[in-house]
Amino acid sequence: MVFMKRINFQKRSFFSLTRRHAPVSIIAVHIVYKVKKMINKSAVFIIASILLAGCRGGGIYMKPPLNNPSDDATIKLAQAASSVSDSMLEMQRIEKVIIPQSKDNTLTIPNAYNLQSRASVDWSGPIEEVTLRVARAAHFRLRVLGTEPAVPVLISLNSKDMSLAEILRDIDYQAGKKANIYVYPNSQVVELRYAKIYS
């Protein structure tokens, strides 16, 4: 038996069955084999994860809402609302003419050169903001006289391709007795005058 161990030691046999007598190279080969097996498993897992993530898609697909086609009642209601709006504007113009002012609207808002540029306005809100925006579009300054009432003067405009002078006249008509607009082309000023309220 001693003789056999000696031979194994001298020849460094690679076929030893016990780990104690096995050469270092077999242990190293076994460890390398385990590491390669682990790397292969993790590589397969990573590749599978990437492929599944790529198939997932960017986000949740949501169906767009369906717009029901407008029925006759909705169309007639929209036409009636437009007609009422036009009628109210016409009534305000007539009211401005019936209740005479010191000057007509076309005299207080002349067709100055800067006010000839055309614009489209869709506005519902306070008079001061829309007047300021129209004045800036004409490169005029806005001067406000008087105090703004507690309940603001509301203007509703839906004008398409009108001159800035016509838009200012429309604002003036809608303001009624609550406010007046004057334009001074030489000094490039649009003046908004709130009516005096006496208590």
Q: Give pLDDT tens digits for 12-43.
A: 544 444 555 545 555 666 676 777 777 777 77
Q: Read off the DSSP letter of residue 187.
A: T
CA angle 39, 41, 17 (to 5 degrees): 75
- Within-domain flag for 49: yes
Judge residue 155's burial from the number of C-beta atoms within 10 Å of its C-beta, 0-12 exposed, 13-18 middle, 19 or more buried.
Answer: buried
On whether both 36 and 119 belong to a single domain, the answer is: no
46: which 2 tokens? 């990573």
Overall residue count recorded for the chain in this entry: 199
Tell me which residue range forms the domain holding 17.
Answer: 2-56
Residue whose tokens read 């903001």: 129
This prediction's pTM: 0.51
* CATH number, residue 179: 3.55.50.60
- Within-domain flag for 107: yes
Domains: count for the chain: 2
Tens-digit pLDDT profile for residues 157-198: 988 999 999 999 999 988 888 999 999 999 999 999 998 875
- Within-domain flag for 96: no
* Count helices and strands in the chain by DSSP H and E runs: 6, 5
Separation of alpha carbons 15 and 18, rounded Å: 9
Distant-in-sequence, close-in-space partners of 159: CB < 8 Å, separation ≥ 6: 119, 120, 121, 166, 167, 170
Q: What is the mean pLDDT of the chain?
A: 78
On whether both 117 and 41 belong to a single domain, the answer is: no
